[in-house]
Amino acid sequence: MANSKIGIIITREFNERVRKKSFIVTTILMPVLMIGLMVAPALIMRYSQGETRHISVIDESGVIAPRLESSEEVVYEPTDLTLDEARREHTDRFGILWIGGDIMTNPGNVKLYTNGSSAMLVEESVSGQIADIIEKEKLKDYNIENLSQILYEVKTTVYMQVFRNDQMQDDGSDKQANSSAVSTVVGLVLGMILYMF
């Protein structure tokens, strides 16, 4: 008698749960979806690295632009245009990098105006190169006797502000772009939430 009750329960559960279309669809689609979620970021990273980004450089200090080194991903093109002229005329480029005249004493005086969404790797590359150039320039002013102390004092972090060149606020002022780091963190958090449910 007990066997027949267990058989009835198993049959009922099978008919109620397994024979539903949603169970069959979920069983087939979930592995495909999981594989897609793992492969998609890799494909995005691979194909987004392939494009060369041209950045016009306006260097009011005259120190940084000649020493910026272009790579396969980022090409720096110094320009004599003013910032407003460059923002109007260089809409075909990835962006405009403006470096203030007091960059040696104020490392935060760097702005990158992009003509679309910025990329975290580009931002890190630009600010890293500028920081290295500033550090080397500062080292020239020191006697190298206490190098460890000097290197500690010279260490510079560039805080670059990113603006969207294709978007302005109603009052005509620049619209500050969302940081690509914030977008990356939000994407990771939402991805984790997706995996949990």
pLDDT, average across residues 71-88: 90
Number of domains in the chain: 2
Give 74's contacts (C-beta < 8 A, 6+ positions apart).
52, 53, 55, 94, 122, 125, 126
- Same-domain pairing of 125 and 34: no
Domain ranges, residue 122? 53-154
- Same-domain pairing of 59 and 26: no
- Same-domain pairing of 131 and 70: yes
User: In this model, does residue 2 exceed pLDDT 60?
Assistant: no
Cβ–Cβ < 8 Å for 100, 60: yes
- Same-domain pairing of 100 and 31: no
Rounded to 10°, the helix 120-140/147-154 angle is: 130
Answer yes or no: is 3 within a domain.
Answer: no
pTM value? 0.58
3-state secondary structure of 164: strand
